[in-house]
Amino acid sequence: MKKCLLFVLIALTISSTAVCLAGERLIIAVNTDAATLDPHVQNDSHSEQVVAMLYNTLLKFEEDGTIVPDLAESYTVSPDKRTWTFELRKGVKFHNGKEMTSADVKGTYDRFMRDDADGAQLVVKEITKMFEAVEVIGKYKVSVTTDKPYGPMMPLLCNRSLAIMDADIIEKHKASTGNFPVSVVGTGSYKIKSWKKDEEIVLVKFNDYFGTPAKSDALHFRVIPEAASRVIALETGEVDFVPQFPAEDMDRLKKSPKVNVIQKASVGARLFRFGCNDKIMKNTKVRQAIVHALDRKAFVDGLFPGMSLHSTGPVTSVVWGYHNFGVIERDLAKSKKLLAEAGYPNGFETKIVTTPRYAKGVELAETISAQLADVGIKAKIEVLEWSVLLPLWKGVTPEVFDQPIFVMGAGTSMMDADGALRGLYTTTETGTNERNYGFYSNKEVDQLVMAGMSETDPELRKELYKKASEILYLKDPVAMWLFDRPTTVAASSKLSNIKINGIGLVFYDEVMKK
Amino acid sequence: MLKFIITRIISVIPILFLVSILVFLMVHFIPGDPVINMLGMEAQPEAIEATRERLGLNKPLHIQYTSFLINILKGDLGTSIRTKKPVIQEIKDKYRYSLILAIGGTLVASVLGVLMGIVSAIKQNKFWDNFLMVISLLSVSTPSFFLALILILIFSLFLGWFPSIGVYSWRHYVLPIFALGTQSIGLIARMTRSAMLDTLNQDYITTAKAKGAPWFQVVFSHALRNAMIPVLTILGLRFGGLLAGSALIEMVFAIPGIGRLMIDAVLTRDYPVIQATVLFISVTFVMINLIVDILYSIVDPRVKC
């Protein structure tokens, strides 16, 4: 009996060791699956990360945010700054073996530029409204013309939403492109091998990749919904990479010899916006009072220690057009004075709407509510599940929208102030809130942001965004910025050469395993 | 026997019909919009309306329910709004994981629970009885979610005996099955103990002992068989509970089972998947209890079919 037990124990120990020894593959533990692998439809960071490994864009961001050619070898801009002509790389292969040519670029862009393109499906349609025409000039030459000069054209072309796809695949699979492995065909360093929904996406190295070959043979994006399980799996060696983990695990992981924690400033920020349709919140002084009533150390040092940075403006430091306005310090006297000037010397009652979908969404609201109580503002908290909250945000009118203060995330995949400000904080034309969920409206901001969009002189653009940002952050606040969210990942100490760009995309193809 | 089974199966139909109505109404009355969830924050109002039209979600509820019911009778559970895959395929892919967990959990719970109950009953009011009842109380009151994390910490992180996530070999099932089954161990142990105590005090047990029947035969052949009826009832109910309640365990151990499918569907208001998974679990639950009813007659011949 004892021998039998001993045998079982030895067998278990040997087989458990075998599990820990992964081959030349990287296992990435993600909390949720990619929604789609269609670059033009994807609209979440999980999908974007996988798309980044599968597809290429005409230009791309390096780790430090500089823009370099990707599928385009070179480009020229017409004197009127409206037409961009690109010389494409020759010999670039799609994963199905077909050569990428200017016809694919036209086919890709035409897909979302067509009048009848499904704007709901193709998220990219909204951000490329200024595109007027795409012309094939030669097999490897293509031009893109905009309706007027567009200042941030280069960062826009780096956006993964504008990734080049095989035109034949688009035509063949139409709206179901990117939903099944056969319809996922890019030019990236990895190609798709399998996709078990909500379980795992497996990418394998693409041997005909035009650029530097990927270092690992395969990438496994494995879905592990529970945060504690992801962290333990990293410590046991069952996974190599955890892109998201709770702030509470930070200290322990930093001390672990098996794990390295890597952090990089990103475009992401956490804020609570004001519903400017609210009769109290439409008053600028009220919003200023709230902004000055907050002690942001409670969020940065208390709720997200080591995983957050103090906000210093409406866009983060990695976004082009950023200006440092400093941290807004808590000043209760100033806040009370502003409230009195606004006609609320004894404060007022209001509501904070939040969702647990965002990390510590409820705790953030509770902290804000407690801090606002110090200036007499009594804010009750309404916690809504994401699927309940979304319809309350989407396309509603000011008469219906009932969220004086509400949680929101911020970021831009083009790392430019145009992407971070236009649409989100500019006045909507339709009367519904479109992307400007809080119905914020400031004519000066509108003019500055629209001028920044068409201005092509970088220095002048910076000046325009500085002015717009000052209004949004201080003079006529659109939101209370709580903290910036750097990208923080935990990786096995066996990994090296881990690079992350400002958008938060990890260059998994360059990661090496010891 | 056949007539009994057919009658029971027919009696199940109104139950499932009722379940289908309840589930349908429930998912349609909870707040949230599957279309906006699917299309995301950037979606345009026209596109939202068009998608609603395409999915038939703008039709009156009774029309939606009728077509849902007709499709079920045709064997078509619809298409997932979120993954765009046929729901039947989704369930087929994931059901086996949950079934293995539920069967494993029930086996662990029944073997350990019955053994603990027998020992407790035989050693009534002695050290082992008290000790095992404390253990059973602990197992009943420890949330499976918490226990799962403790098991992972001890057996995966510290000892390295079992993997902590996924289902790639039989070893991957060990911890989730124990985490799932443990709560039922205590319940079954207590139920077995009390049933055994009742039986052990019966006259026929005294007679068996007086006739010099071996201890083993008295306990397992005479007492246990008669004590099994209430235990079987609990086992049937627990199996259904474990199948429906494996969602948390599936989340912790990253197992793509039907519980996780259901939770994801609820969070994204994927109506066809919610309806189908709840119906599927209900059918399993009802079928298991049907099997239990049949088992009664085998265990106790007095129960006529």
Are B288 and B10 in contact, with CB atoms under 8 Å apart?
no
> Are A118 and A176 a contacting pair, CB within 8 Å?
no
Compute the nearest-CA separation of B50 from chain A (Å).
10
Whether domain A34-180 has CATH 3.90.76.10: the reply is: yes
What's CA A171's distance to the chain center, in Å?
28
Mutation site, A16, A21, A239, interface B, largest B CB count within 10 A: A16
Q: Is B9 helix (H, G, I), strand (E, B) or coil?
A: helix
CATH 3.40.50.12780 fits A269-484, yes or no: no
**Distance from the B256 Cα atom to the nearest Cα atom in chain A, whole angstroms:** 6
**pTM of the shown model:** 0.83
| A325 in B contact zone (CB under 8 Å) | no
Of the candidates A354, A486, A471, which has an alpha carbon nearest to the alpha carbon of residue A421?
Answer: A471
- Cβ <8 Å between A387 and B43: no
SS (H, E, C) A437-481: CCCCCCHHHHHHHHHHHHCCCHHHHHHHHHHHHHHHHHHCCCEEE
Judged by a CB distance cut-off of 8 A, whether residue A30 touches chain B is: no
Chain B closest-CA separation from residue A59 CA (Å):
24
Residue B278 lies in a domain: no
Evaluate whether residue B72 is within a structural domain: no
Tokens of B48: 């939202």
Size of interface A-B (CB pairs under 8 A): 132
Report the residue from A43, A123, A224 with minimal CB separation from B165: A224
Cβ-defined contact of B164 to A123 (cutoff 8 Å): no
Beta-bridge partner residues of A194: A202
Nearest CB to A120; choose among B32, B51, B256:
B51
> Per-residue pLDDT tens for A184-230?
999 999 999 999 888 899 999 999 999 999 999 999 999 998 888 99
How near does any CA of chain B get to the CA of A441, in Å? 19
| Packing angle of the helix pair A361-373, A284-293 (nearest 10 deg) | 100
Which of A149, A163, A165 is closest to A418 using CA atoms?
A: A149
User: Which chain A residue is nearest to residue B159, measuring alpha carbons?
Assistant: A13
Give how many domains chain B has, as a whole number.
Answer: 1
- Quick check: B114 and B192 in contact, CB under 8 A? yes
The 3-state secondary structure of A255-299, one letter per residue: HCCCEEEEEECCCCEEEEEECCCCCCCCCHHHHHHHHHHCCCHHH
Q: Chain B: nearest CA to A121, how far in angstroms?
A: 7
| Order of strands, sheet of A241-242, starting from the edge strand that comes earlier in the sequence | A190-196, A200-205, A218-223, A25-30, A241-242, A487-492, A259-264
Q: Of the candidates B31, B46, B256, which has its C-beta nearest A199's C-beta?
A: B256
What single DSSP character describes residue A435?
T
- Which of A355, A342, A303, A323 is closest to A482 using CA atoms? A303
| Residues making up chain A, counted from first to last | 514
Q: Which of A118, A121, A236 sits opposite B156 (nearest CB)?
A: A236
Question: Measured between CA atoms, how close is B134 to chain A, in angstroms?
Answer: 27
**Residue B120 forms part of a structural domain:** yes
Q: What is the pLDDT of residue A333?
A: 96
Question: At A241, which helix (H) or strand (E)?
Answer: strand A241-242
Chain B hits for A17, CB-CB cut-off 8 Å, are 160
Whether A397 has its CB under 8 Å from any CB of chain B: the answer is no
- On whether any CB of chain B is under 8 Å from the CB of A394, the answer is yes
Give per-residue burial for B11-38: e unless 16+ CB within 10 Å, then b.
ebeeeeeebbeebbeebeeeebbbbbbb
Can you tell me the distance from the alpha carbon of A53 to that of A68, in angstroms, rounded to the nearest whole number? 17
Residue reference for tokens 């109290």: A280
pLDDT confidence of residue B38 = 66
* CATH code of the domain containing B200: 1.10.3720.10
**Three-state DSSP class for residue B280:** helix
Give me the torsion for CA of B255, B260, B264, B267, rounded to 10°: -130
Instruction: Report the chain B residue with the minimal C-alpha distance to residue A396.
Output: B45
Residue B287 lies in a domain: no
Chain B residues closer than 8 Å to A121 by CB: 39, 47
Extents of the domains making up chain A: 34-180, 269-484
Angle value at C-alpha B130, between B124 and B131, nearest 5 degrees: 130
List of chain B residues with pLDDT < 70? 1, 37-44, 46, 299-305
Question: From residue A22, how far is each of A38, A240, A260, A506, B225 by CA, in Å?
Answer: 29, 9, 18, 20, 50
Q: Smallest Cβ distance to A432: which of B41, B45, B156?
A: B45
pLDDT attached to residue A18: 38
A238 with B165: Cβ contact below 8 A: yes
Residue A12 has a pLDDT of 45
Q: Which domain holds residue B234?
A: 93-257
Please compute Rg for chain B using Cα positions: 24
Domain-embedded: residue B74: no
ipTM: 0.73
Residues of A in contact with B33 (CB under 8 A): 387, 390-391
Residue pLDDT, tens place only, A135-194: 999 999 999 999 999 999 999 999 999 999 999 999 888 878 888 899 999 999 999 999
Q: Which amino acid is at A420?
A: A
Looking at the complex, report in whole angstroms how far the Cα of residue A74 sits from the nearest Cα belonging to chain B: 32
Query: What is the reported pLDDT for A366?
Result: 96
Taking only residues 440 to 499 of chain A, the set having a beta carbon closer than 8 angstroms to any beta carbon of chain B reads: none
Please answer yes or no on whether B260 and A12 come within 8 Å at the CB atom: no
Token output for B247: 């969602």
β-strand partners of A202: A194, A220
| Spatial separation of the C-alpha atoms in residues A239 and A29, rounded to whole Å | 6
Of B43, B152, B161, which has the smallest distance from its Cβ to A229's Cβ?
Answer: B152
* Neighboring chain B residues of A118 at a CB cutoff of 8 Å: 47, 50
Mark the ranges of chain A whose per-residue pLDDT is less than 50: 1-2, 4-23
Establish if B242 belongs to a structural domain: yes
Which has the closest alpha carbon to A399: A277, A283, A280? A277
Question: How many angstroms separate the CA atoms of B139 and B116, rounded?
Answer: 12
